[in-house]
Amino acid sequence: MKFACLISDGFEDTEALATVNLLRRTEIEIDLVSVFNKKTVTGSKGTVVVADKMMKKTNESDYDGLFIPGGGHSSVLRKTESVLKLVQEFFEHKKWLMAICAAPTVFGALGIMDGRKYISFPGTQKEMGKAIRVDEKVVRDGLFITGRSVGVVYEFVFKIVETVLTKKALEKLQKQIVY
């Protein structure tokens, strides 16, 4: 199982890095993909990250899923054609689409969550089209997994691991991190 994680300046540090770190402790590989093709990307809290891959060299066919962390960059990503094109390709090829905090609005911009349940950061509802907001920490609807905010990173990761791998993989991760 291999995922791409889209980052650009202003990504939410904990949502991106904790999720990537925890997923890498399982059987899931994950690449940090620089949306604007810069080798270093700075999070909203000043964490500087070295990207594994540049967006211009990223193909949907290389991955089983796409993860987008929240943060201020979400408002930029949902207006960036290359991001919208990549998300659409993942959607059309029925691959996992995961986002937390304000990042589900990228899916909302495309209308691909219309009629589906989701959760996102409070106040982002207006960017979600006809998606159905539910008051949960983490929501799975089909191939979409969404999380409310940085405060639910563990629950978000746990839902991903249990869903795309197995309950046994989740238990192994929880034991490994002494959860």
Q: Give the chain's residues under pLDDT 70.
A: none
Average pLDDT, the chain: 98
Q: What is the pLDDT of residues 72-91, one digit of tens each?
A: 999 999 999 999 999 999 99
Return the pLDDT at 142: 98
Q: Which of 12, 140, 136 is nearest to 74 (CA)?
A: 12
Residue 85 has a CB neighbour count (10 Å cut-off) of: 11
DSSP 3-state of 16 = helix
Q: Counting Cβ atoms within 10 Å, is residue 64 exposed (0-12), middle (13-18) or buried (19+)?
A: middle
Its pTM surpasses 0.75: yes
What domains sit in the chain, N to C, each tagged with a CATH number? 2-176 (3.40.50.880)
User: Can you say how many angstroms the Cα of residue 36 is from the centroid of all Cα atoms in its chain?
Assistant: 17
What pLDDT does 9 receive?
A: 98
Rg (alpha carbons) of the chain, rounded to whole number: 15
